[in-house]
Amino acid sequence: MKQFTSIFATLILLIAFLSTSAKVWRLNNNIGASADFTNFNAAVSSTSVLDGDTLHIEASATGYGAATINKKLTIIGPGYFLDPSNTTTPANPGLQYKPQNGWVSSVNFVAGSSGTKFIGVSFGGGSLYGDLLTNITLEKCLINQDVNFYNNGNTNVTIRKCFIYGAGINCTSGSLSNFTFENNIVYEYWGKVNLPNLTGSNNIFRNNSFYANVATSAISNCYVANNIFYNSGGTPVNFINCNIKNNIFSQNQTFTNNIESGNSINVNMATVYTLGTSNSLDSRMVLKAGSPAIGYGVTVGVVTNPDCGAFGATDPYKLSGIPSIPTIYNIVAPSSILSGAGTMNVTFSTRNNN
């Protein structure tokens, strides 16, 4: 596998959108891999890793641990739901050659972390929190742990195209403003977004798909549009001072003291989602043929009458959270070569994921 390690390293260095002045650091804890770091916190705390650098968290059967973020970093993982042998979270096959995730646990955002962005990373075994979250983006991530806004003054936080799996996005004690939550899937028991302490007038909650037993508890001071709220428990969402347009609800929903129009309530979700039991969890949220969510949304950007839910609007959810960088999804190599041979033929297939 050593020859493949060099292939992966070369591919990483060819990422087109990274600044030439910043450096890409590899995290890989697989036996035999040659990488810069094997531990998440060691990478973040290293004096060699500077503001503007990128950490590439590579696929691994084990996690990379927790870290306190005090620098502006871009942190890229391989995505999720990749392993065809996993029956608990079935895969979208053929997207990555290595089928493991890039897991990290608790992440604490402190002074200096403004501008940090996670893409394609899997979070589990802790929580995401901090003294102050400012200009933080989670994109195409698997969030299997709570995201908590404990303190006052959190602002400009974006969660986009993520899969929230049995976890909560919570702002119940601190404050949060300029919050964007769009094109996400919130799935499974206790999957919820509980944001009674949103403040200001620039909060957006748009084109998300819920499939949960608890689902959303409360949203305040927010533009809420083109979402699909499926709560099998039947509890309505508590909207506080929101502008609520063209959403689809499985439950009986009231809109007291809010601005609302075009919403559809008591919708049978069997007519909305593809669902299924053997396909990947995120593909189950694809809209069914003839779904009432098709073309039901209010205009977003240049898209008129977009579909409701995570797969609609201008920048839809991407299966398995595959980052928008080239990936290797297949390698063909001989199992052995003749003694003394100076070369071997290796064929690898790559994909542009823009």
| pLDDT per position as a tens digit, 47-103 | 999 999 999 999 999 999 999 999 999 999 999 999 999 999 999 988 887 889 999
Here the tokens at position 282 are: 């995120």
- Quote the percentage of the chain above a pLDDT of 90: 75
How confident is the model at residue 2, as a pLDDT? 42
How confident is the model at residue 90, as a pLDDT? 94
How confident is the model at residue 213, as a pLDDT? 75
How confident is the model at residue 3, as a pLDDT? 42
How confident is the model at residue 325, as a pLDDT? 67
pLDDT in tens, 310-347: 999 999 999 999 997 666 646 556 666 767 676 776 66
So where are the chain's domains? 2-351
pLDDT surpasses 50 at 173: yes
Q: Give the Cα separation of 56 and 169 in Å (integer).
A: 25
How confident is the model at residue 351, as a pLDDT? 59
| HSE-CB for 215 with a 13 A CA cutoff | 21
How confident is the model at residue 302, as a pLDDT? 94
What Cα–Cα distance (Å) separates residue 231 from each residue in 88, 148, 159, 191, 243? 21, 22, 21, 10, 21
How confident is the model at residue 328, as a pLDDT? 62
Nearest to 252 by CA among 237, 242, 241: 237
pLDDT in tens, 229-286: 998 777 889 999 999 999 999 999 989 999 999 999 999 999 999 999 999 999 999 9
How confident is the model at residue 9, as a pLDDT? 42
How confident is the model at residue 18, as a pLDDT? 43
Q: Give the Cα separation of 121 and 139 in Å (integer).
A: 8
* Mean pLDDT, all residues of the chain: 89
Tell me the DSSP string of 303-342: BSSPPSSTT-SSS---GGG--SS-EEEEEE--S---TT--
pLDDT band at 46 (very low <50, low <70, confident <90, very high): very high
- Quote the percentage of the chain above a pLDDT of 70: 86
How confident is the model at residue 212, as a pLDDT? 82
Q: How many CB atoms neighbour CB 56 within 10 A?
A: 28
How confident is the model at residue 164, as a pLDDT? 95
Residue whose pair of structure tokens reads 């035999």 in the numeric block = 32
Enter the pTM of the model.
0.90
For the chain, the residue count is: 354
Q: What is the mean pLDDT of residues 14-41?
A: 80
pLDDT band at 353 (very low <50, low <70, confident <90, very high): low
| Matching CATH number, 2-351, of 1.10.287, 3.10.290, 2.160.20, 1.10.3470 | 2.160.20
How confident is the model at residue 343, as a pLDDT? 75
Q: What is the mean pLDDT of residues 172-201?
A: 93
At position 223, the amino acid (one-letter code) is Y
